[in-house]
């Protein structure tokens, strides 16, 4: 059994209750049976195969592994990791975000790590626990082993491995991109926090107030964990609601500082425009490549942004932590990664 600090239960209780209170479309308790019904009734079951993988290594983080294999995937297909939020399951984030249907459309595999209650009472990834956020340890190592298993079992393009997550899963997305820059091409943080913004004793401050550092200070936290790394860090796209009272929206700008700094570019956006009416910024390097991208979802509370419908860039199933606001963050994540076409 992994060790846990006494602060954890109180921290996650406040995290969960706040998110539920301010989620505009909370529809009740998320249970495995509920989301099995959602899949079976045409939610986001997809046309491929969603299944659990029970053997993938020593699994020091004691996580569960699920995968989605699309009905048809090309040779050397991309792999997308999707990390659920606090109180959620892998099946819930799949259904709410519409990820399996997107995998069928665009031909990529999905890996869904899932937290267990034995590790964390509220099934949140332990983004603030030192023993879980470093190479070869805890939950980081478990997810690395899952990726290796996917590469063994399927034709995966090692240069197109991506990761996204919501809330606690978003925080862990930042962890993975900073701990394993040699693995990930890009990430997508949805209502998250910078890498190493907090430990168990100051997670409240990082969530509700935000931790503010200079770009150089944020970069140091990343580079000191990989002092010998000389390659390129993953690109990053960030989505955050301006009315999020669970994870302070200031964290969007702190993430911008961290990821622009590790890419050695300044914090002035190269391009500023709107997408679906929402402020959108692109931060490009000297070669004109976008390495950091942000979407500020005006008026949105804590959750992922959805735009239910049948249009090219529409989708998702609204519910807890999944808000119909007129922009489909799953789709625009794939646009940022070069997997889906930009409809504009």
Which of 23, 142, 167, 330 is labelled catalytic?
167
Q: Tell me, letter by letter, the H, E, C secondary structure of the chain.
A: CCCCCCHHHHHHHHHHHHHHHHCCCCCCCCCHHHHHHHHHCCCCCCCCEEEEECCCCCCCCCCEEEEEECCCCCCCEEEEEEECCCCCCHHHHHHHHCHHHHHHHHCCEEEEEECCCCCCCCCCCCCCCHHHCCCCCHHHHHHHHHHHHHHHHCCEEEEEEEEEEECHHHHHHHHHHHHCCCCCCEEEEECCCCCCCCCCCCHHHHHHHCCCCCHHHHHHHHHCCCCCCCCCCCEEEEEEECCCCCCCCHHHHHHHHHHHHHCCCCCCCCEEEEECCEEEEEEECCCCCEEEEEEEECCCCCCEEEECCCCCCCECCCECCEEECCCCHHHHHHHHHCCCCCCC
41 is catalytic: no
Catalytic residues: 167
């Amino acid at each position: 059994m992994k060790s846990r600090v006494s602060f954890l239960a109180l921290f996650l209780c406040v995290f969960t209750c706040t998110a539920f209170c301010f989620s505009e479309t909370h529809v009740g308790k998320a249970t495995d049976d509920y989301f099995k019904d959602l899949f079976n009734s045409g939610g986001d079951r997809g046309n491929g195969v969603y299944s659990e993988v029970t053997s993938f290594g020593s699994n020091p983080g004691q996580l569960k592994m699920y995968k989605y294999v699309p009905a048809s995937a090309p040779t050397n297909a991309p792999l997308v990791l999707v990390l659920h939020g606090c109180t959620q399951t892998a099946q819930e984030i799949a259904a709410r975000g519409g990820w399996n249907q997107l995998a069928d459309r665009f031909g990529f595999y999905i890996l869904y790590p899932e937290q267990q209650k034995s590790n964390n009472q509220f099934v949140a990834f332990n983004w603030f626990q030192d023993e879980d956020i470093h190479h070869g340890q805890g939950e980081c190592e478990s997810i690395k082993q899952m990726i290796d298993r996917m590469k063994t079992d399927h034709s995966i393009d090692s240069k197109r491995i991506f990761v996204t997550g919501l809330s606690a899963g978003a925080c862990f997305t930042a962890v993975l991109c900073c701990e394993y820059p040699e693995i990930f091409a890009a990430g997508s943080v949805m209502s998250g926090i910078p890498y190493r913004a907090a430990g168990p004793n100051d997670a409240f401050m990082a969530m509700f107030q935000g931790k503010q550092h200079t770009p150089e200070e944020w970069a140091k936290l990343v580079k000191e964990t990989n002092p010998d790394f000389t390659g390129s860090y993953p690109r990053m796209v960030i989505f955050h609601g301006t009315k999020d009272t669970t994870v302070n929206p200031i964290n969007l700008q702190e993430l911008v500082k961290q990821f622009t700094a590790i890419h050695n570019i300044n914090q002035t956006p190269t391009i500023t425009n709107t997408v679906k009416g929402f402020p959108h910024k692109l931060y490009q390097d000297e070669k004109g490549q976008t390495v950091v991208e942000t979407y500020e979802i005006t008026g949105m509370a804590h959750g992922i942004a959805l735009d239910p419908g049948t249009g090219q860039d529409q989708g998702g199933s609204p519910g807890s932590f999944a808000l119909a606001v007129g922009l489909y963050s799953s789709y625009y994540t794939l646009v940022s990664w070069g997997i889906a076409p930009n409809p504009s």
